Chain A
């Protein structure tokens, strides 16, 4: 066993994962469940058909406190935070001076703070980034003593309502405080599977009790990071470090929907975030490369790193995520393609083990989103 393996961190649910028979793997410095004995495909289907419980406690939870917090945060993200109403949640990303993405995050405006969730692998760098750039304008508080559970699927609301009926009134991308399993939890109606569902920030002392109450519901079974990955890929959602990173801009990543008008040229609070000049130029003139969805025309999984070519053999781009998707039951992928090839139904060829397989540019999501918009 290497030193890095010994140093793996554990979430408050670690012992429960072992008890449930999970296969554990290292992920972002944590020992995490990749799947339980049912396997990834069964867990994927469980989430699409009923409800699945994921431990995402490895992700970073932060509070930004102070009257100036929203305006301060806007200096780091090309997203409207100032106008975000209390109880509303929004997707955002930290950019660097080249317009690349340092991390993607979720921001919820609460009565007395901004509640922020960031990726596990980035949380230390993000915290430092926040303190360095806006630590003089607001208080940045990490919440390492809170676990994070994601309950996802069309029956997630039925299950969570058994614990507290109040959660049913939440709509997609809103949040509130609810008592669950005897603890005060912050619940948002959101997630990363394309399904209706909830993310629950719970004090670590109550995380196991809450997980056990949810797993006791007939709708709910546990699911690991393997299913989380296939679910988010079918939903067309980016995985940081794969589909987006510090070299990809929001325009290249096809995430411009997350940049509100008020932060674009001509808007009341346009620009004034890192890389604004690069991103504004691309918003106006387009980017060389663009993130697209691909569907395989042959039943061959095409994975991250596969190179893409046109029929004449010219290189067009590369795959950043891909698998044979359990739900849509065909090979799907996300890729960066030269912009003039990133057109619907355009055919490209993915190289796998020296052979080229046809794939077609496809709209995303691959599986329809089923959010509860109220």
Chain B
């Protein structure tokens, strides 16, 4: 299982633990509506799990992007900065937010697997 989910409706794919990819889920982009702006973290900066690492703004509202795990930012999606609507059109692919060097695998293991996240969505 390489992709897990947070209660804040973010996903993290850890195929490469030195550059695990983080984005928002379909549910998150649908709840936000048309995304018009993203504030991405600085490459090289380290965050703890739960820290606010960025902001995604739709026409209607702003929402924080939380770090799903502790780690250092190794890359951000410049294409998303240039075209924030990628977060709506392809949230699980080209609309990714940033990549993080994961140091504590236990934090990743604690996140929701796809069936658990699907179960969460059904309660909403």
Contacts and interface: CB of A to CB of B under 8 A. Distances in A.
Do A and B make up one complex? yes
Nearest to B64: A353
Contacts of B58: 40
Contact of B62 (A34, A230, A299, A301): A301
Contact of A41 (B34, B37, B57): B34
Contact of B33 (A39, A299, A303): A39
Nearest to A323: B59
A226 B37 contact: no
Given A301-B57, A324-B57, A353-B55, A40 B62 contact: no
Contact of B60 (A34, A299, A300, A353): A34
B36 interface: yes
Contact of B37 (A23, A34, A35, A324): A324
Interface string A207-229: 00000000000000000001001
Given A299-B37, A300-B37, A226 B60 contact: yes
Contacts, number: 41
Interface residues of B, number: 13
Interface in B6-43: 33-34, 36-37, 39
A303 B58 CA distance: 11
Contacts of B62: 301, 303
B59 A40 contact: yes
A326 interface: yes
B100 to A, nearest CB: 21
A326 B55 contact: no
A334 B85 CA distance: 25
A324 B38 CA distance: 12
A34 B61 CA distance: 12
Chain A interface mostly: mixed
A23 to B, nearest CB: 8
B9 to A, nearest CB: 16
A330 to B, nearest CB: 11
B56 to A, nearest CB: 11
Interface string A306-338: 000000000000000001101000000000000
A230 B59 contact: yes
A41 B34 CA distance: 7
Interface in A15-67: 23, 34-35, 39-41
A301 B36 contact: yes
Contacts of A23: 33
Among B55, B58, B62, B88: residue with most chain A CB under 10 A: B58
A229 B60 CA distance: 9
Interface in A276-313: 299-301, 303
Contacts of A40: 33-34, 58-60
A165 B94 CA distance: 49
A362 to B, nearest CB: 19
B116 to A, nearest CB: 23
Given A299-B37, A301-B37, A324-B36, A41 B55 contact: no
Contacts of A323: 36, 59-60
Given A40-B34, A41-B59, 13 more contacts: A34-B60, A39-B33, A39-B88, A40-B33, A40-B58, A41-B34, A41-B36, A226-B60, A230-B59, A300-B37, A301-B57, A303-B61, A323-B60
Interface of B: 33-34, 36-37, 39, 55, 57-62, 88
Closest 7 CB pairs of A and B: A324-B36, A40-B59, A41-B34, A39-B34, A301-B57, A40-B34, A301-B37
